[in-house]
Structure 1
Amino acid sequence: MKTHFLKLSALALSLIVTAGANAQEKPESPKLFAPSSAFNTWSFGISGGILAPTLMTGQNDFTKWKADLGYGATLKNQILPALGIQADFVAGKLKADNSRNWGNGLPPVSPFASYETKLAYAASLSANLTLANIYWMNRVNVIRPYMTAGYGFMGYKVTQIDNAGIETKFRAGESVKETYMPVGLGIKFGISNSINLDLGYTMNFVDADNLDGYYAGMQNDKFSYSHIGLEFNLGSKSKTPLSSYNPVAALQDDYITRNAALQASLDADRAKHAAHMEEMNKERMRFLNDSDKDGVSDYFDKCPNTPAGIQVDGAGCEIKVTTTVVNPVRVVVTEEDRKVVAEAIRNLEFDFGKSTLRSSSYPSLNRVADLLKSKDFSLKLAGHTDNVGSDAANMKLSKDRAESVKSYLVSQGASSSRIEAIGYGESQPISTNKTAKGRQDNRRVEFTLY
C-alpha cells in the first residue's frame, strides 16, 4: 500500500509541474448571450489513481481489499456552463483476499483465498454537472466541484487462488463482459485557461456478481477509482472554456458596461448642449445689447459708438437734417408711378434662402431707379419673412434683402440718401404661416414711394 501511495504522489507531483509549465493568462470572458462558437467546449483528460474493489470493508465477497494503481482518460463536450457529456475510460487491476474475518467476527466461508481481476477496460458515457456554475456567489469559478453519473460496459479477466493455494481462471480465462453504472464526485482546480487539475472519486456499480469470480449472493459487485489527473481544454487558447463561464457574472458585466456607455453618452450630450446653449446665449446678447444707447441693438448697428442724443436711422447711423429749404417742390406720386413700383414688387425674386437678387428682377428695378432719379422721390424698403427658421435668422435675412434692393437701385444712379432699407423679420405677416401660399405671401419686400 505504501508503494502505491509513493507512486501516486509522484504522479500527482508530475501532473502539477506539467500544468504549471503550461499556465497562461485567462482571456476576457465572452459577452452575454455569446454563441457556443465563442467558447471552448471540448476537453480531454488523463488520470492516474487507486483502483479497489471497494473503500468500505466487507461490502464485496472478500474480507480484505488491496489497492492497486489504475489509469483513465476522459473526453468531454460541455453543452451548458453547468452540464457536460463525457466519455470515460478506466483500466487496471483489482485485488482482494480472505486473510481476516468479517466485521462481525465470523470467518469467511468462500472456497477462494484471493483473486486478481485484470480490468482491460471500463468505458462509460456520463453526465457531468459542474456545481460551481450553479453556486453563483463567486464571479470567477477557479475551484469547480462536480458530480457525474452514467452507464457503461466493461471487460475483465479473473484469476483465483483457492484455499489450497491452487490458481484457477474464472470461466477458463475468457474475457467477461458486463454493464455497470459509474457515480462520482470530484473537484477541479483552474490552473490556467487551458488546464485543470482534477481530483475525483468514482464508485462503479457492476450489474453482476462476477467481478471477483465468486458468486456469493444477490448483492452485486462494485469497485472504486480515486484519481488525480489533468484536463486539457481543446480549441483556441484565446477562448474561455464553457465549463468555467459564469452567466451571472457575465450579466453583471454586461449591465456595468451598458451603464457606463449610457453615462458616457449622456455626459457627451450634456457637454454638447451646454456648448450650444452658450453660443445661443452669446447670439441672444448681441440682439439685447445696445452699447451706445441709440435704440438700435449692436447686431444691427452699423454705426457703433454714436454720441448720446443723436437721432439715428434703423441702421444706427446719424440722421442729418437740413433746415434750409431751397426752392421747395411738392412731390406728387401719380398712379403711373405706383404701377412702376407695383410691377417691381411683383417681379422681385431672390435666390432661395439668400439675399442675392435674380437677374429677372433687374428690368422692373431699373424703371424704379429711373423714377427716383427723374422725380426726386424717396423710397422706403421694408423686408419681411415667414416664420420658418429662428427669429434672428429671419431678421437678418429680411434686412439683407432690403439692403440688396437698395444697393442695386443705388448702382443704377439712385441717391442712397433717399432710400431707407429696414428689416422686420417675421414680425409683420400679411397672411397665415400655416400654408405654403401664406408663407409665400409673407416673404416680401415692400416699396413705399414718397
Structure 2
Amino acid sequence: MKRISLTVAFMALFAIGFAQTADSKWNIGLHMTQTEYRGDLGNGFFDFDDFDPGVMLNVGYYLSPTFDLNARFGYAEVDYTDENGTYGVGNGGYADLLNSPRSWGFDGNLWNASLNLKLKFNNGWFFSEDAIVGPFINGGVGMTYMDVDHQRIYGQSKEYSNLALNYGGGFNIRLGERLNMVLEANVINPTTDVYDGVDVSSAPGWEGADKSDDRFLQYSVGFTYNLGAKQDSDGDGVADRKDKCPNTPIGVAVDEDGCPIDTDGDGVPDYMDKCPKEPGTINGCPDIDGDGIIDSEDKCPKVAGLKELQGCPDSDDDKDGVLNLQDKCPNTPVGVEVDKDGCPIDTDGDGIADYLDKCPNEAGPAKTQGCPVQDQLNEFAKQIYFNFDKATLKTESFIVLDKVVELIKPHSDQDFKIIVKGHTDSKGNDAYNQKLSERRAASVRDYLVKKGIDASKIRSIGYGETQPIATNDTAEGRAQNRRTEIVVE
C-alpha cells in the first residue's frame, strides 16, 4: 500500500494543477500531502520522522477577489505507534484490562471529501490581487472514511466514517500569469474519537490521555493553473482585470497595463501622436512658443504668433496703431489719423479721407477732392444775368463767374467735365429761344475759359424752352425757367 501511495505522491509533486481567477472562474488542482495524527494514543503533530504521503484533488470556483469555493477529495496513509505507553499504560483500569505490552498504535488509510470556503488576503485590501505571495485561510465541512489496522487493541481491522470539519491556511505563490504553487496546512477533525481504535473519554485509568476527538494535521504542496481563457474585451492581450485601458482600439500596440504605447511619454499614445518620438502638447507634437501651432508648421517657432500668419506675430506695417490682421487699410500713410479699422478718418463721410479732402467738414465728390462744388455752382448759377434779349452778360455776373473760377480752378488736375446749360422760357419763337439759349451758354463758357479754365474740360449746350422747371403761365414761373446751369460731370 505504501509503495502505491509513494508512486501517486511522486506523480502529484510534478503534476500541474489549476487555480481560478476572475478571468477563469473554474480550476482544478493536484497536491502532495503529508498527514500526522493526534488523539488518545499521543501527539504526532509536527513529527517529521515518519513520512505518510498522500494526494489531494481540488476543484475550485472563484467567487470574488476575497472568496473562493473549493471542493476537495483526498487520500492519505496514516499510522501512529505509542511505543512508550505515554498515556497511562500501567496505571491500571482500562489499560491493565487489556493486559497488553506497552506498544499501542494503528495503521490506516484516510479518505476525505469536503467543501471549503477560502478567504484570500491578496484581495486588494491587505495585498494586491497580483501579489507574488498571497496568504489565505479556509474552512469547511465534509465526510471522512478510514479503514484501519489496530495493534493490540481490537486485533482486527475496522472501518469508520463520519462528518468532518476542515480548517487551515497557507500561501499561494504566483509563478506566472496562470501558474501558482500552493503551500498549505489543514486540520481534519472527523468529530469522533474512535479512528485510532481507542475512545478513552470515559475510561478509567487514562487520565493523561487526550480525550478530545481524533484529529489529523495535513501538510500539502501543489500547483495551480486556471482552466479557461482570460477575459480580454479589447483584444489587446492584457486581461480585463489588469487592463487599465480596457477600450483600446483593435490593433493598437499596448504596454503591460493594457494601455497604448506612448514612446515619447507626452501623454498622447503613439497611434494618435503625429510626432511619436517627440514629446508635445498639440496632437503629440512640440510647440515651443505655445501659440497653438506645432513647430514643424510654425514659421516663427520661438515667438508666439497667429495661425493666420503661420505662427508669426502680427505687425503694424503702416504704423497706424492697428495690427495688420485687423487693419482694413494696411497702407495708410504714416502720420494719418485712422479709425478703429485702421482706415483714415473721413469726417464728412463723403468717401474722401480727411487727409485728401479739401473740404473735410463738407461732403463732396472725389472729382473735386471732397468739396461740394456742385451745390455751390448751383447757387452761383442763379446769380448769372444777361442783358435783355441778348447773350451778353451783365456786369454783376462777372463777380459771380469769378467765384465759379475760384471754385473750379483748384481741381483742374482732376478728371472731370463742366457743362454750361442755357434755358429760356416759352415766350417768343421756339427757334429763336433755342439760339438764344445756346449763345448765352456759350458766353458763360467763354468767360470761364478766358479766366483760366481748361477749354477741354468745359462745353456749353442750349436747350431753349424744352426743359422748364416751372410753369410758363406766370411771370414767376417764366423767371425760373430763364436760367443757366453749371454742371460738373
How does the TM-score come out when normalised to structure 2?
0.46
Structure with greater Cα Rg: 2
Report the structure, 1 or 2, having the larger strand content.
Answer: 1
Report the structure, 1 or 2, having the larger helix content.
Answer: 1
Q: Which has the higher contact order (CA 8 A, sep 6+)?
A: 1
